[in-house]
Amino acid sequence: MAECGEISMMLGAFEDSELEPNEMQEVAFHLARCESCTSILADYSTIGRDLRSIAAEPSLAGFSSAVIARIDRLPQPMLTRIKRFLGRQVDSVGAGIAWGGAAVAVAIMTIVMITPYADQFANRGPQSTAIAKAERAAAQAANQAADAAASEPTMADNDSHADISRLESENHSVAVWSEPRRDTTVIWLPDQP
Amino acid sequence: MTLRPGSLTFLIIAITACAAPNLSYAQAVPKVVTVYIDSVMAADTNEGTDPKLAPMGQKLRGLFGFSTYSLVMHNEGQTDCGKMIAFTLPGGKILHVQPRAVDGDMIAMEIVLFDGTRPMMTTDLKLRNNGTLIVGGPRYERGMMIISIGASTGGSHPMQAQVGTPAQANTR
Amino acid sequence: MAFGVLVERYQRRVVGVALAVVHNQDDAIELAQETFVRAYENLSKFESRSSFSTWLYRIAANLAIDFWRREGRHVVLRGEDAENEIGKLPTVEGDSFKEVSRLELSARLKQALEELTPEHRAVILLREVEGMSYDEISEVLQCPRGTVMSRLHYARTHLRTILKDVAGG
């Protein structure tokens, strides 16, 4: 039987259900016989609960706009600066010329948008491609997570038979692990010390 | 008088059309699920494994490593999907099992374990047909209680204990 | 702006990662904003080897740890030295925490967190508050999973010892 010193190193990972199945068994087996280690595990659960209770939830009002404002102040690509300069020049000549310039700008933009080079002038060139790439990666991850939640689990021959979607317990020492080799899932629910 | 091919065809179609609603009706009938509960006391008293636990004894020995496994109570009961079934277990425990749906090989259910009136655990899960969920840890007498929960849409469960007359459950 | 959508999606978690290290709200928000700016500037370097979120959190963690070290906050023990101190911590017997004033416990817990190195504080808060798995923490902090486990063990042991002293009077 494992000694308390050896088991104590694993208690946190047991609490987090992060041990291998055989290690989860070993710790559970020891906890069933050792009130001292069971008490330590309960203390770890209390620490976790206390940490979550004192964790501040910062106010994020205006966070997104502040980030965008900082990004806007970053050095701009040359083409964007030229466009901004031209825009200022158009404003200073007069209303009539400004309206004419606007019409010209609309015409140019229309031509640009329908050409194969549209992507280079929309937003910030290479950045838009990278943003799209990151958005695709994020969307793909979200879709995969949604698919995993919604789809039927494909059970292999050596699976653990149970797919737990929700587990609530006032017992903070509860742990869950799968035993594919023994075709079962185990929920560990020790008595609270 | 013989049937013309056209009339025969019409007859076949008519018979099939009458049967089709029956097929869909069969699918709409709530599935009946049989729930099997084995309450086992595990201890370090070197008494071996209860012969009635023959189907699952090896599994329990592999999972928990105790030297004694004794079947305390076997419960089983049938219920329709959407209806809860309650089992009174040793040590003042009560188990509520409510199958929600049977989808292919998986049985979706909610399980609530009470210690008297106090809920110890609530879980939503999908259990494979004839699969097993083990809940272990609560102290019981000189050892620990292990609750084996199995469900089946068929007539029997491969891992259920071999007993004569199981304790019946309450169905709501 | 397209990038704004990404900011709104990940802002809470990025702030959480930064807060786990620096343990100061204002600093964490500032660092989180810087994280997004850095990410924006380096979007072209993002590869698909890790998820976008992990890449983002990694930037946040690196910025936060660099900030902490740069600011020269007091550190009781360096990470490696701290591991050796595990054996010197007294074993605590007896029951779990007695009931103490919640305010006192909260204050003491915050102080105990301050006594941890940023690496130890990061792992315990990323695990307990942000709910990250060991693999996720390993990727974000770019350290082996075994290091995550040992740092968590030390942090929990340290916090438990300090809080036992409070509860014991």
More confident: A170 or B25: A170
How far C164 CA lies from chain A's nearest CA (Å)?
9
Residues of chain C falling short of pLDDT 50: 74-99, 169
State whether residue B156 sits within 8 Å of chain A by CB.
no
Asked, for residue A178, whether it belongs to a domain, the answer is yes
- pLDDT at residue A134 tops 80: no
Asked, for residue A137, whether it belongs to a domain, the answer is yes
Is C19:C113 a contact under the CB 8 Å cutoff?
Answer: no
Percent of chain B with pLDDT over 70: 72
DSSP letter for each residue of B120-162: EEEEEEEEETT-EEEEEEEEETTEEEEEEEEEESSS--TTS--
Is C9:C109 a contact under the CB 8 Å cutoff?
Answer: no
From the list A55, A57, A23, the residue with the least C-alpha distance to C124 is A55
Q: In this structure, are A88 and A128 located in the same domain?
A: yes
Q: In this structure, are A90 and A32 located in the same domain?
A: no
Asked, for residue A125, whether it belongs to a domain, the answer is yes
CA separation for the pair C8, A65 (Å, rounded): 10
- Write down the pLDDT at residue B29: 53
To test the contact with chain B by mutation, choose from A17, A176, A187 the residue with the greatest count of B C-beta atoms within 10 A, namely: A187
Confidence of residue A100 (pLDDT cuts 50, 70, 90): confident
Q: In this structure, are A96 and A138 located in the same domain?
A: yes
- Write down the pLDDT at residue C95: 42
Q: In this structure, are A21 and A79 located in the same domain?
A: no
ipTM of the complex: 0.77
Asked, for residue A18, whether it belongs to a domain, the answer is yes
Tally the domains of chain A: 2
Give the length of chain C.
169
Confidence of residue A40 (pLDDT cuts 50, 70, 90): very high
Look up the domain containing A22 and give its range: 4-53+166-188
Asked, for residue A126, whether it belongs to a domain, the answer is yes
Residue C30 has a CB neighbour count (10 Å cut-off) of 17
State whether residue C147 sits within 8 Å of chain A by CB.
no
- Write down the pLDDT at residue B18: 52
Q: What is the token pair recorded at A6? A: 């050896």
Q: In this structure, are A91 and A45 located in the same domain?
A: no
- Write down the pLDDT at residue B167: 60
What are the domain boundaries of chain C? 2-71, 79-168
Domain C2-71 CATH class label: mainly alpha
- pLDDT at residue B36 tops 90: yes
β pairing state of B132-140 and B143-152: antiparallel
DSSP state of B122: E
* Whole-prediction pTM: 0.58
Closest CB to A164 among B59, B106, B123? B123
Lowest mean pLDDT, pick from A75-79, B115-119, B145-149, C147-151: A75-79
**Average pLDDT rounded to a whole number, residues B70-89:** 92
B16 φ/ψ sector (left φ>0, alpha ψ -120 to 50, else beta): alpha
CA separation for the pair B136, B144 (Å, rounded): 7
Q: In this structure, are A80 and A131 located in the same domain?
A: yes
Phi, psi (rounded to 5 degrees) for A138: -70, -40
- pLDDT at residue A107 tops 90: no
State whether residue C60 sits within 8 Å of chain A by CB.
no
Asked, for residue A37, whether it belongs to a domain, the answer is yes
C90-102 pLDDT, tens per residue? 444 444 444 456 6
- Write down the pLDDT at residue A179: 75
How far C83 CA lies from chain A's nearest CA (Å)?
12
State whether residue A20 sits within 8 Å of chain B by CB.
no
**Average pLDDT rounded to a whole number, residues A31-38:** 89
**CATH fold for domain C79-168:** Arc Repressor Mutant, subunit A (1.10.10)
Cβ pair B123:A187 closer than 8 A: yes
To test the contact with chain B by mutation, choose from A152, A176, A182, A188 the residue with the greatest count of B C-beta atoms within 10 A, namely: A182
Closest CB to B133 among A168, A182, A184? A184
Per CB-CB distance under 8 Å, the chain A contacts of B103 are 152
